[in-house]
Structure formats: C-alpha cells, structure tokens
Amino acid sequence: MEANEFGPQGFPELKNDTFLRAAWGEETDYTPVWCMRQAGRYLPEFRETRAAQDFFSTCRSPEACCELTLQPLRRFPLDAAIIFSDILVVPQALGMDVTMVPGKGPSFPEPLREERDLERLRDPATVASELGYVFQAITLTRQRLAGRVPLIGFAGAPWTLMTYMVEGGGSSTMAQAKRWLYQRPQASHRLLHILTDALVPYLVGQVSAGAQALQLFESHAGHLGPQLFNKFALPYIRDVAKRVKVGLQEAGLAPVPMIIFAKDGHFALEELAQAGYEVVGLDWTVAPEKARDRVGKTVTLQGNLDPCALYASKEEIGQMVEQMLNDFGPQHYIANLGHGLYPDMDPEHVGAFVDAVHKHSRLLRQN
C-alpha cells in the first residue's frame, strides 16, 4: 500500500463516509443504513463461528470479534460496521461474575442486593485496562475493514447496566432495580456514578483503538417514567457524552459522532436531542414525522423499522422502507431497525431492507 492510503492513525483511508456525514448532519447522496445486531444469530456463518466457544470467551477473542463483525459486510452493502461485543463486559470488568445461559440470556450469580455490595466492585479507573481485548478487536477490525465503511464502538448506559447488576439478569418489570431507585436513591446514584466513571475511559479507549463513532444503549429506558428517567438516567447519559468529548480532546483525538439509543424512551425525546449526542436513535413505536417535529432540525435521527417487519415479503419490506424514508426525510437521517435483528430472521430479507433503503433514498433525492 502507498503511504497516502493510510489515515492519520495508520489505518486504511475511509472509502465510504456516508454514515459519518449523516451522523454529523452533513448532506449525503443517499441514506446510509446499518442494523443493530447485524452480527447475529440470524446468520448461519455467525452460528458456526460462535459454536466453538462460550459467549464471553468469544467477546474476549479479538480474532473472533473481528470475524463476526465483518460477516454481515460480506453479505450486505451496509454503510457501517459495529464491533461485536456485549454491554455486560463493563460489569464484568468491575469484578462481577456474568455468564450467558443458552436460551435464557445473561445471568449474574451474585447480583447487587444492598448498598454494601457496592464495596465488591473494582475501582472504575481500572476498567479500561481490563477491557484491552475490546480495544484489540476494534484495532484489528479497523485494519481488516480496509477503509470500506466506518466502525462503530458502543457501550450500555449506566441505568441499563445497573438493571442487570441488580436484577441478576433480564426482567420484565425491573422491579428490583426500581426498588433501589425508590428505597436507596443515594446508593443508586453512587452505583450510577461508578458506572459512568467506568464508561468514559472505556469509550475514549474505543476511539483511541480505532472506533469512528460511538453508540450508547439505554435499552431499559422504557421501564422508567419521565420523573425517574430525568433523575436516574438522563443526567448520566448527558455526563457520558460531555466527558467522552472532553476525554477525546485531552487525548488529542479527533471528535467522533455519538448516538444515543434509549429504547421506549419516547417521553424524553426532546431531552435526549439536547443531551450532547449528534444522533438520536428511535425504536419503532415512535412516528418519524412527530419525532422530527419534537427534536428539531439540527439532530440526526436513526431508526426505526419494526424488526418484525422483516418477516413480511420482500415487496412489502420495500414499501415499508419507502414510507419510512418519506416520513424521516432525506437528510439528517440514518436508516436502521427500531431494535436488534432477531435470530430467526431470513438474511435475504435483511438484504432486501438494505437494498430498499439505498434504492428509495436515491429516488427520493431525484424527485
């Protein structure tokens, strides 16, 4: 390779920056598209690669993470890659045991039950050094991507991580975690601060390793009403964005666009649009035109096709995509699903979704 084919960090020069341009609010020739959980069990090659080892061992193998991240890009002309990892590597790095139980999901054998359990957690300042395997995966993937599309890094937001740490796994009500918010507000804030202190260097470290954008997943926003959200989720979401931006500056790194995805957090759209993120991700329960009215023109929106729409015929997928693109409008927009892909989805229908976004968004701009 010629020297000029490498960017500032010695990575191959980026050939397709459409996703980054849309994230920054710049004009694009078509609408960029990627899918949450695009590296997932719906791909037979993913299941084959994953079969060899347990879930968190895979997360700790840069080679495996790189392979899984690249698989969907070999099949589909996606406009971004997202590193294969898991939000729960952060509680793990804080010293908590987490296992992935097949068919059940994540399980914490010893969840946080009372305030004194916070003493068990490691110093959040050490977390980034525990997560070197994620940074290695990002650097390796960025090299192997060869500048094809940008690479997204991610983490779970403090409240969502807290729910897993207190509940000990998934939950339909989050009653244990919410009990903390009502009965132990001080301890809750203490835990959320610890998580924020861990997340900031972790996200800065991802950019340092080669991530070109960052997404924060507040997957459990919907369990909080506006009051609890404004007290226990939003301040930390804001804090993460603010401190990561300062951290990048202090490390001499160029800024990267940041995406906040608060699933079922439609009651806080205005607040999220002003939380310091360039992009606000939407789930499928939000009407795009209404969201656009509420967040204004300056922020980029991402989303929000119902993942289950991919069970429809390819023709219907095309029609739904066309409607979605019309509703969002051509600029300040990144197409995605309103949540991650499900394991039983047909890869061909994922391809139909991606192709429909590219096709209809180009037609939209011509008319």
Catalytic residues: 37, 41, 50, 86, 164
* Vertex 282 angle, CA 336 and 215, to 5°: 70
Look-up of token digits 């509420």: 294
Q: What's the maximum distance between 2 C-alpha atoms anywhere in the chain?
A: 62
Alpha carbon distance 132, 205 (integer Å): 9
- Report the Cα–Cα distance between both ends of the chain, in Å, rounded: 41
Query: Using alpha carbons only, what angle is made at residue 69 by residues 64 and 71, rounded to the nearest 5 degrees?
Result: 95
In this structure, are strands 213-218 and 258-262 parallel, antiparallel, or unpaired?
A: parallel
Q: Give the separation between CA 122 and CA 117, rounded to whole angstroms.
A: 11
Nearest to 65 by CA among 156, 143, 160: 143
Residues forming beta bridges with residue 169, ordered by sequence position: 107
Task: Report whether 297 contacts 319 (CB < 8 A).
Answer: no
Q: Which amino acid is at 35?
A: C
What is the DSSP-derived secondary structure letter of residue 98?
A: -
Quote the CA–CA distance of 286 and 344 in Å, as a whole number.
Answer: 24
Q: Which residue has the tokens 């001080």?
A: 186
